[in-house]
Amino acid sequence: MTKKLYIKTYGCQMNVYDSARMADVLAPLGYSPAETPDGADMVILNTCHIREKAEEKVFSDLGRLKPFKQAKTGEGGDMIIAVAGCVAQAEGAEIMRRAPYVDIVLGPQTYHRLPEMVARAARAVPGPDGKGRGILDTEFPAEAKFDFLPDESTAPGVSAFLSIQEGCDKFCTFCVVPYTRGAEYSRPTEAVLAEARRLAARGAREITLLGQNVNAYHGEAPDGGAWGLARLAYALAEIPGVERIRYTTSHPRDVDDALIAAHGDLAQLMPFLHLPVQSGSDRILDAMNRKHNVALYRRLIDRFRAARPDMAFSSDFIVGFPGECDEDFQATLALVREVGFAQAFSFRYSPRPGTPAANLETQVPDAVAQARLLELQDLLEQQQRAFFAGMIGRTLPVLFEKPGRHDGQLIGRSPYLQGVHCLAHPRLIGTIHDVRITEATLQSLGGKLVLLGDEAASAA
Ligand code: SAH
Ligand code: SF4
Ligand code: F3S
């Protein structure tokens, strides 16, 4: 009998990847994906701890799940509620206390043990009124979860994620990731390449390599040595069907010469890089323990542009980090003006329990941080608008992914990860075609398919 599994994913792409792998590991137990928690046999919240808001959202969503569970037990059924991901790792006991109807709390490195936990939950009689079974696993196991997860059970989309690296050893003073994901670990090259071959064979044309610090990758290779990210990208580019390669998130400190050179050599490596800088002030970067300064960041941007002139950049910024004064903030604005970003994320500093910066006495008043955030976001939005508008009149290769909102329309992505819509036959899904861009908004592009000769005949 098939059982319904509802998974909600918060946070970064690593969690998106992990959610798919949890579905894979539960498929042999008879669980298949459901669109809603209503009536589900199992619900997993795959959570994010990065900022306070993300965490609070989990607790409010848990509150909303309780009546679903009670309704299910009221009908003589059962609903297993599991909390996975980074909040599970950081706040395991607190979750059990605040939401006693949760059955399983499991950390990000334990997903290969999920079937065992589900079996234990199924054996335990559900408590009265939906009380949970109290199963907690937040160990950092000695073994790597990747070695024990089954092959992907569901077909990938045109664009697929592939985790190659987990955890982080950088310990930026604001960040929970080293505590929630554990020490840095790189998957062996053969495992990565085998997964990429499977994805390509099942229709993936774009592969995004994932890691909390993806360019720290140093996977063990069959020759006994370790490959960096660049070497891995060259090998991936040889796999038939892999037409686009991306990677995220990179750390400026771990960019090496080989990676910059690869952007010049490999047509498959997309000319768009998410390279978080966090601040434009050396004093703040130092207090953040970022291990790079502004000059290094500028130099990297110049070198990437020299290797690949059409390279565009995205970044992350934190404003209102403890001790940030107006001069520091002005330095951030100056760096943004100088680099010119295609797109970027910016956040107000959020003190996280257990991180060094949370204890600093120089916290920036909320109103000041909020005003800075708005000013920075205004500038970043202007740059994004200009970047998107600058595409009008250009012809971009677009990888078509799915039908669009309007009849006869397809949606795809430009090399710069911009959504592009145009009229095109569904047969073009999974292929790359030139589109002449005629319109732009802040978030998307529209245009006309440029088809020549045979292509035009077969797409008609
Ligand atoms: N590994 C990546 C990003 C990890 S988290 C890197 O090193 O850049 C994604 C982004 O969330 C970070 O780049 C940072 O801008 C933001 N972030 C992390 N911790 C934060 C905090 N305590 N408050 C506000 N933003 C935070
Ligand atoms: Fe967090 Fe810094 Fe590691 Fe990125 S590099 S995950 S910001 S500790
Ligand atoms: Fe969030 Fe954990 Fe990713 S804290 S950003 S889900 S690594």
Residue-wise pLDDT tens digits, 136-152: 999 999 899 999 999 99
Q: Where are the beta strands (DSSP E) in 79-210?
A: 80-84, 104-106, 135-137, 159-163, 165-166, 185-186, 206-210
- Give the SS3 label for residue 142: coil
- The pLDDT of residue 23 is above 80: yes
- The pLDDT of residue 313 is above 70: yes
Average pLDDT of the chain, as a whole number: 95
CB 171 within 8 A of CB 289: yes
Encode pLDDT of 377-392 as tens digits.
999 999 999 999 999 9
Most informative mutation of 13, 48, 174, 177 for ligand 2 (most atoms within 8 A of CB)? 177
What is the rounded distance in angstroms from the CA atom of residue 26 to the CA atom of residue 43?
12
- The pLDDT of residue 456 is above 70: no
Q: What's the pTM?
A: 0.96
Residue 170: predicted pLDDT: 97
CB 151 within 8 A of CB 198: yes
Question: Minimum-distance ligand to the CA of 184?
Answer: 2
If one counts every other C-beta atom within 10 angstroms of the C-beta of residue 405, the result is 7
Task: Report, as an integer, the average pLDDT of 20-33.
Answer: 96
For residue 87, which atom of ligand 3 is closest to its CA?
A: 4
- The pLDDT of residue 307 is above 70: yes
Closest CA to 10 of 148, 146, 108, 135: 108
Residue 458: predicted pLDDT: 61
Confidence of residue 131 (pLDDT cuts 50, 70, 90): confident
Encode pLDDT of 49-94 as tens digits.
999 998 899 999 999 999 999 999 888 899 999 999 999 999 999 9
Residue 125: predicted pLDDT: 77
Encode pLDDT of 164-178 as tens digits.
999 999 999 999 999
Structure tokens at 418: 């911009």
List the chain domain ranges. Answer: 3-137, 395-459
Residue 172, marked binder: yes
Query: SS3 breakdown of the chain: % helix, strand, coil, rounded to 5?
Result: 40, 20, 35
Distance of CA 336 to the CA centre of its chain: 23
Residue 246: predicted pLDDT: 98
May I ask the CATH class of domain 395-459? mainly beta
Structure tokens at 268: 């498959």
| Cα 114 to averaged position of ligand 2 atoms, centre (Å) | 27
What is the rounded distance in angstroms from the CA atom of residue 318 to the CA atom of residue 169?
20
The length of the chain in residues reads 460
Structure tokens at 410: 């397809």
For residue 47, which atom of ligand 3 is closest to its CA?
A: 6
Q: Using a 6 Å CB cutoff, which residues line ligand 2?
A: 168, 170-172, 175, 177-178, 212-213, 251
Closest CA to 205 of 157, 243, 162: 243
For residue 352, which atom of ligand 1 is closest to its CA?
A: 22
Least confident of 196-205, 229-238, 319-328, 444-453: 444-453
Cβ–ligand 1 contact at 265 (below 6 Å): no
- The pLDDT of residue 285 is above 90: yes
- Judge if 3-137 and 395-459 fold alike in CATH terms: no
Task: Report, as an integer, the average pLDDT of 193-198.
Answer: 98
| Cα 124 to averaged position of ligand 3 atoms, centre (Å) | 31
- The pLDDT of residue 126 is above 80: no
Residue 453: predicted pLDDT: 61
Cβ–ligand 1 contact at 347 (below 6 Å): yes
Is 3-137 a domain of CATH 3.40.50.12160? yes
CB 239 within 8 A of CB 245: no
Structure tokens at 330: 């002005």
**Would you say the C-alpha torsion 443, 446, 451, 456 has a positive or negative sign?**
positive
Residue 455: predicted pLDDT: 63
